[in-house]
Structure 1
């Protein structure tokens, strides 16, 4: 019987080398982009949706470049202090790469970038653990949007349902979710079935750097915070 490829040992040094090469490639790509584009922004994101983000990135690939991934690698690319920054002032940008954040390098004007980020939002179905944005309660009675084959599945999600002459009906009122509380796996599935979207994918600007100046967008931050962080 032939040996499974899954059981073949992997040399750890090879995986480390591959990881190091990838990081070096990212560092070089970011440093090349710094020379190519006029300004650099740090942005944060909430409710990331990879497909939607890919579409947004494709729309602006002729004028801009996005980087997401390890904040530490992006920080190393720019320089984390006065001593190792690759352009004057970039260590300030580096220190704002925290949590769910990324880099946006572009030749677009500041006004155009601000408009793009402020206007961008995409609605999607919320995932397990997402905070519900509203209370949703289903009232006792027929659920005519569902076919009778769905009855066992709905019951597994905790819904008090039964079949009545081939029509699914709730035997009592049922709270799907409550505003401000995290969604359970069952609640997330029910919301998707109902077509209710409670997640909004948004991008928020944190700062802007150009060879001429540096600007903070996030409230509560000033340059002394960046210098001392």
Structure 2
């Protein structure tokens, strides 16, 4: 009997990756955005949340264009030096694209951009590895916020619990996390159950470019003339 060709296992090595065409499309989109907008900014982010960033981006879509992804691709689009920059002085933005960074091209006034970024923050549940911002300790006794069905799951997270007449009870004091220490997977899940949000999604402006000027926001970031030829 012939082997069916409908159900074949495809190894990950054979799946299509984002290749040269995808990178070139991004480069072209950035170049076009630079042409269509009056200014450009590099920004960094902490505790990125994709859905929240999407909503933030949607609020500005009529006047702005955001780019996130490979810093090298964004640097290539802008130009890494005076010799290959797409606009006068814009290569300096490339020098600021490091780590968790993004690019914003916009027609909004400088004061409006600064206000939006300064005011924006969204609180969310912390993920594994996030540094705890406070000590969370549960005291011995009933945990009435949890139903009896939760008792096995709580035990898996390391909580010393038992059922007492159908009520989840902590048999001894328990420290979920310590201030300044990274969260374990169990601690992150427990904080979510307790509805404690320790992560804040923020965006920070690093630098600003217009055809007439270049400005650095982030203290300690220095652009040396020696780097111009790189």
Q: TM-score, normalised to structure 2's length?
A: 0.93
Structure 2 residues not aligned, in runs of 5+: none
The SS at the match of 2:82 is coil
Q: Which has the higher helix share?
A: 1
Deviation at 1:221, TM superposition (A): 2.3
Name the residue aligned to 2:195.
195
Deviation at 1:6, TM superposition (A): 2.9
The SS at the match of 1:189 is helix
1:156 aligns with 2:156: yes
Q: Deviations over 1:171-209 (max 9, x none)?
A: 100000001100000000100000000000000000000
Structure 1 residues not aligned, in runs of 5+: none
Deviation at 1:2, TM superposition (A): 1.8
Contact (CA 8 Å) 2:137, 2:175: kept in 1 or not? yes
Deviation at 1:225, TM superposition (A): 7.5
> What pairs with 1:1-229 in structure 2 (closer than 5 Å)?
1-3=3-5, 4-7=7-10, 15=16, 19-224=19-224, 227=227
Deviation at 1:224, TM superposition (A): 3.2
Distance 2:196 2:140 in 1: 19
Contact (CA 8 Å) 1:92, 1:227: kept in 2 or not? no
Contact (CA 8 Å) 1:207, 1:218: kept in 2 or not? yes
The SS at the match of 2:200 is strand
Q: Deviations over 1:88-145 (max 9, x none)?
A: 1111101110000000110000000000000110000000011101000000000000
Pick closer, same or farther for the CA change 1:225–1:128 going to 2, 3 Å.
farther
Contact (CA 8 Å) 1:92, 1:226: kept in 2 or not? no
Distance 1:11 1:147 in 2: 47
What count of residue pairs does the alignment treat as equivalent?
A: 226
Distance 1:200 1:72 in 2: 27
Pick closer, same or farther for the CA change 1:95–1:226 going to 2, 3 Å.
farther
Deviation at 1:7, TM superposition (A): 3.1
Q: TM-score, normalised to structure 1's length?
A: 0.94
The SS at the match of 1:7 is coil
